[in-house]
Structure 1
Amino acid sequence: MTADTSSPRGVMASVRPYLEKESLAAFFLGMSSGFPYAMIGATLTTRLAQDGIDKKTVTAFTLAFLVYNLKVFWAWLVDGVRLPLLGRMGRRVSWMLLAGALVMAAVANLALVDPAADIGATVLAAVLVGVAGATFDIVIDAYRIETLKPYQLGTGSGMSQYGWRIGSAGAGALALVVSARYGWTSAYLFCALFAVPAMFTALVLGEPARHRDPACKKGVGEVVASIIGPFGEFFRRNGAWLVLLFILVHKVGDTLANLTFRLLFNDLGFTNDEIAIWDVGVGFWAYLIGIFIGGVAYTRMGLKRSVLLALVLMAISNLSFAALAAAGHSNLGMAGAIGFENMASGYGGVVVVAYFSALCDLRYTAAQYALISASASVVGRFATGTTAGALIEAMGYVNFYLLTTVLAVPGVVLFWWMGRSGLVDAAMGTAGEDKAETDPFA
């Protein structure tokens, strides 16, 4: 006999996991995770443009984002180094406080530089925000994964996505409002406070119950082993190389398509007001709805089925832009394409992040999740971003978006085969294998 999810009791059962303390913690962690990205993204671009900095110099600031892909090289420190003094509070809590303080200091430093007077100092300040933000991400991801119980990975990832979007958008909006009244220095100093939610969460909840400290390292050889150990453990698993291949290719088609939406809208003659309403407005709410659906679907469908559905939806969403390109200027068509794409991305972001979280070994959560998250975006940022414009010029928009749909197929097929052959389960980390923690609402 199946549960009646349409009844009030069924609805409450779906909502209740979002109100558990671990899921609420994931929300506040996500808020703090999202704001450094906004500080060196659109917010800094606006500041530089208003200070009269030329476009070539502004684009050079994208190097600050490269740091997020390099975080895997120092993530082992978060797993393997016990901080003096603060370390008595627990490894994760102490690193959260240190990383949060570093982010606040880096943002304050960026607030105090004058781009018009010293662009070099501004570049350095932006890179420092990137380094501090990436380190904060390492700690936040590890804390979130180790705080959430296995059955909470879906809803917790959803709440984290909610927090990230609200934190990045909120910090960006606050910076614009404050800068218009009190200047950019005050704006950045106000936004530095967005690091506080994660720090406060760590202080309130304390050290994650599921955190497992690796063995103590004493000699040089043991320190070296602590660096390569997390990666060695991952690649010794059955099917690990196929899992890594999936991580690398699963978003190639989606990334190629996402890089070009604004180009399509411009060539179809959409105005800035239309883009603001349909792309930004509809897209934002569709994304939030997709996040909620993803959390519920992960809980109800399980990991493998929910991830496979996400991959299919993200592939199909590219077809909607092929249809828009063929139809031409259409507000309804744009709303439909953007709405479907963002809902699929919100849904996929939850369940895929939950899967990536479950791949981690609880002894090496920080290092392994840094490897996974960096690998998931590196191909899209370096391999596909440089080819999108040339492909559009050679093929046209319709055929281009059809190509991106085809490029998404290998990821779908690979994950389906991994699920059928048992490799999804065989390569799972201890973060997703703890059967002692069950869903009390199941």
Structure 2
Amino acid sequence: MSTETLTSNDKNNYKGWRGIQRAFATPSAVTMMFLGVGSALPFLLVGYTLSTWLRDTGVALSAIGLVSYASFFYVLKFLWAPLIDRYPLPFLGRRKGWLVASQILLIISLTSMAVIGPGSSLIVFTILAGLTAFAGATQDTVMDAYRIEIAPVESQAALAATYILGYRIGLILSGAVTLYLAELVGWTNAYLAMAACILLPLIAVLLSKEPNPEKVTVREIRIQDAFIKPFQEFFSRNGILLALALLAFVGLFKLPDQMIGVLAGPFYLDSGFTKADIATISKLYGVWIGIAGAFIGGVCVAAFNIKPMLVIAAIAVSISNLAYLLMAIHPSEQWAFFATISADNLSQGFAGVVLVAFMSSLTDRNFTATQYALLASLANLPGKFIGGVSGYIVEATNYQTFFIFSTLSVIPTLLLLAWLWNKTDAK
């Protein structure tokens, strides 16, 4: 049922307590929960968890940073999104076909990573990690389209909520549970178990319904419509100088956090913590602290102007990096680990919500999906580049110097924000 075909009585059924029950009780809501699990699994398995595996097997920090470039497909997924919209696969339907194909590819690539391992051939292993990231990014792209097309606007909040619940479960599986399994039965068996977990969203997709094809218009996607017009509108609306400054600000905002992201797992191991310690403190306790930070950020964005929140968020993300010095000074001491994770995840959760609100204010409603996807990709791009060479920086200096450097990387962001302060309409 599309929003255009809802009668007044239908719309009343989506309001109040009856609407809540109806929205959350739909099979689509349950499907989105399992899809959320499937979305989170590959994201960490080619990121944080993968870095921990590499360091645990003795791979140099410089090589770990370079391997992290395999996850670049998550930044570039908007490039092939128009192809997914335009060309349905010849089985299961327009959305289910791509979902099943990407999930099967995930199972194959994760299984191959588990069997080959980084010890046999790091190059082949990295290619497989890139293939996993490509499949995961493709899956995410189709999931977004599936969620929007499978239910009316009135049900979208419920679908998003169940998706986020599933995503958090997936983060625990691909983070904490994988580390526990690696400690108990080894990395190969841990990754094989995660490949098997992809069967959950795969079965959910096979049992789900395809969005009504009569309500979806498949049209030729022109290059101009897909790419040029959104850029053209953004620069025309803001002017070239302001537009470039806004894009630079978005790109630099999360830089201090992203610089540390690649080496966080290896640093925990080098600080004397076991994989079980990392799972419990970073990937169980840390997830809930991040949720708390996101909740605080949502309340503050609703209550106050966005600009002061941008200042607080940027400073919080950078200053929290200094907490890593506690672990460097007090290795193997769990109180330092808890303090560091508390500061880091709380600030990340807060800043993430603030940045999403700011990026949303920059988009034109005629090009919301494309402009927001591009901004979201840009927000991760500089950090991905620098994260890839972070291992070289640590090997040339030490962890302490690197943490201080990452903290100071907020300075260009704050200078840009000062210049932008009176030039934007964001409130």
Q: By the TM > 0.5 criterion, same fold?
A: yes
Consecutive unaligned residues in structure 2, runs of 5 or more: 1-18
Corresponding residue of 1:233: 233
Amino acid across the alignment from 2:137:
A
* 1:311 aligns to 2:300 (yes or no): no
Shift of residue 329 of structure 1?
Answer: 6.2
Secondary structure of the residue that 1:422 maps to in structure 2? coil
- Structure 1's 318 and 74: CA in aligned 2 closer, same or farther, altered over 3 A? same
Matches within 5 A, 1:36-435: 36-40=42-46, 62=68, 64-78=70-84, 81=86, 83=88, 94-95=94-95, 97-110=96-109, 113=112, 115=116, 126-141=129-144, 163-171=166-174, 173=177, 187=193, 190-196=196-202, 217=220, 222-238=222-238, 239-262=242-265, 265=268, 269-270=272-273, 274-301=277-304, 303-322=306-325, 325=328, 330-387=333-390, 389-390=392-393, 393-394=396-397, 397=400, 399-415=401-417, 417-424=419-426
Stretch moving more, 27-36 or 260-269 = 260-269
- Structure 1's 418 and 158: CA in aligned 2 closer, same or farther, altered over 3 A? farther
What do residues 408-430 of structure 1 show as CA deviations (whole Å, max 9, x unaligned)?
A: 133244345535432547xxxxx
Q: Distance in 1 between matches of 2:276 and 2:80?
A: 43
Aligned 8 A contact 2:68 2:262 in 1: no
Aligned 8 A contact 2:300 2:309 in 1: yes
Q: Distance in 2 between matches of 1:39 and 1:384?
A: 17
Q: Distance in 2 between matches of 1:362 and 1:42?
A: 35
Shift of residue 366 of structure 1?
Answer: 4.6
Aligned 8 A contact 1:111 1:189 in 2: yes
Q: Distance in 1 between matches of 2:159 and 2:314?
A: 20
Q: Distance in 2 between matches of 1:163 and 1:334?
A: 27
CA RMSD of aligned residues (A): 5.1
Percent identity, aligned pairs only, is 26
Consecutive unaligned residues in structure 1, runs of 5 or more: 1-15, 426-442
What do residues 128-166 of structure 1 show as CA deviations (whole Å, max 9, x unaligned)?
A: 4322221222344566789998xx99x998986654342
Aligned 8 A contact 1:36 1:130 in 2: yes
Q: Distance in 1 between matches of 2:309 and 2:234?
A: 23
Aligned 8 A contact 2:48 2:265 in 1: no
- Structure 1's 48 and 422: CA in aligned 2 closer, same or farther, altered over 3 A? closer
Q: TM-score, normalised by structure 2?
A: 0.68
- Structure 1's 360 and 198: CA in aligned 2 closer, same or farther, altered over 3 A? farther
Aligned 8 A contact 1:99 1:132 in 2: no
Q: How many residues align?
A: 390
Q: Distance in 1 between matches of 2:173 and 2:192?
A: 16
Matches within 5 A, 1:21-36: 30-36=36-42
Q: TM-score, normalised by structure 1?
A: 0.66
Q: Distance in 2 between matches of 1:318 and 1:234?
A: 33
Q: Distance in 2 between matches of 1:230 and 1:176?
A: 45
What do residues 206-231 of structure 1 show as CA deviations (whole Å, max 9, x unaligned)?
A: 79x9x9x89x548xxx4455343333
Secondary structure of the residue that 1:386 maps to in structure 2? helix
Q: Distance in 2 between matches of 1:267 and 1:274?
A: 13
Amino acid across the alignment from 1:193:
L
What do residues 360-379 of structure 1 show as CA deviations (whole Å, max 9, x unaligned)?
A: 44554554343223222221
